[in-house]
Structure 1
């Protein structure tokens, strides 16, 4: 394979990855904006309604390494309810914040749910 072909292939893959990330992000935001999460929803229901679109079974369809598995949570300092709650509340990068969609208690509950699921490797 020629060096030029490798560069072109790499650029095509990069463009496709960015396009997919944009589509997935916009789809997730659109779904989350129209979804209503009842105040009585369990943490699992809150997660499934608002988070599983990108983080199904603790994975990350946008950025594979930034998943919700215990090793990644520790690596990125997201191994506490407070830190996860802050991220869920305010968002970061392409992840939107949920402060206008979820109550403070729902954010705390879903953060605790993420930690408990990570401990069992999302099984």
Structure 2
């Protein structure tokens, strides 16, 4: 009985104090953003469509202020933005989206 209780406590502890494997990783998102997005979006700007920056007010105005919206945009592309679904996997795209939202909240500073 003690052994079963010990195993259950270990499992509970593991789930309580570790993050799931699919949790977004903003630090990884920063690296991916630097490698794939800065040519057009350095500092949250947009060199192709100046009004559609990655700044919080522009994200809000263009309904791009959620993880899901940014993931969809990065995955599928739109207008001048290419799709990244063949270059980045789903986890990498989620990491980039998380990074973008975090930076927008900090005004890219």
Larger Rg: 2
Mark yes or no: TM-score above 0.5. Answer: yes
Native 8 Å contact 2:48 2:80 kept in 1:
no
**Cα RMSD, aligned residues only:** 1.0
**Count of residue correspondences:** 83
TM-score by length of 1: 0.66
Gaps of 5+ in 2: 1-26
* Equivalent residue number for residue 118 of structure 1: 104
Structure 1: segments with no counterpart, 5+ residues = 1-40
After the TM superposition, which segments of 4 or more aligned residues of structure 1 sit over 4 Å from their partners?
Answer: none
CA shift digits 1:66-94 (9 cap, x unpaired): 00000000101000000000000000001
**1:49-60 aligned within 5 A:** 49-60=35-46
SS in 2 for 1:42: helix
Deviation at 1:44, TM superposition (A): 0.5
Contact 2:63 2:69 in 1 (8 A): yes
Alignment match of 1:100 (pick from 74, 86, 89): 86
Relative contact order: is structure 1 or structure 2 higher (C-alpha 8 Å, sep ≥ 6)?
Answer: 2
